[in-house]
Structure 1
Amino acid sequence: MQIEEMLTKLYGPMLTVAQLAKVLDRSTKGLTISLLRADSDWARAINAAKLKIGRRVYFRTPDIARFLSGE
C-alpha cells in the first residue's frame, strides 16, 4: 500500500489533527469543525479512525490511508 507507506514514513503510526489537515489540504480549525458535525460519509470514515489519548486526538495512519485510497 503506497499511500500508507508514505504517510507512515512522514508522520508515523498516528496523525495529529494538524498533520491530517495538512494531508487533506484543509485548515486545522475547518477540519475540526467538519469532523464534529459528522453528517457526511467522509467525516464518518475519518472519525472512525479517531483515537483519543487523554485530551489529545490522533488518527490511525492505516485507516486514513485506506480512506484516501478509496477502500
Structure 2
Amino acid sequence: MTTEELLLGKFGPYMTIGQLAEILHRSAEGLRISLCSDNEMSRILRPTRVKFGRRVYFRTLQVIEALSQIGESSQVVK
C-alpha cells in the first residue's frame, strides 16, 4: 500500500488543518501560524489549500506531492 493510498483512505480527498498537523507532528494552531508566515513550508503548502465557505481544507494528493518536494530538498542539502 502506497502513501497516497494510505492517506486517501484515512482522510479522503481533503484534509482539515488538524489532520494535516497530525501528519506533520505539529499542533493545529502552530501549523496555522506557520502557514501565515513566509517560509519554505508555507510556500509549498499554501497552494494545496482550498476554502469551502469559512472552512479551510488541503487537497490530499497535492499535500503528498508537496511533502515529497520537501523531503527531496532536505535530502539534497544533507
Instruction: Point out the structure with the larger helix share.
Output: 2
- Structure 1 distance, partners of 2:2, 2:46, is 22
Moved over 6 A (4+): none
Q: Which structure would you say has the larger Rg? A: 2
Instruction: Report the count of equivalent residues.
Output: 70
Of all paired residues, the percent bearing the same amino acid is 46
Instruction: Give 1:40 shift.
Output: 1.2
Report the AA paired with residue 22 of structure 2: K
CA drift at 1:2: 2.1
Aligned to 1:46: 45
Higher normalized contact order (CA 8 Å, seq sep 6+, divided by chain length): 1
Find the aligned partners of 2:2 and 2:65 in 1 and give their Cα distance: 10
CA RMSD of aligned residues (A): 1.5
Show structure 2 runs of 5+ residues with no match: 73-78
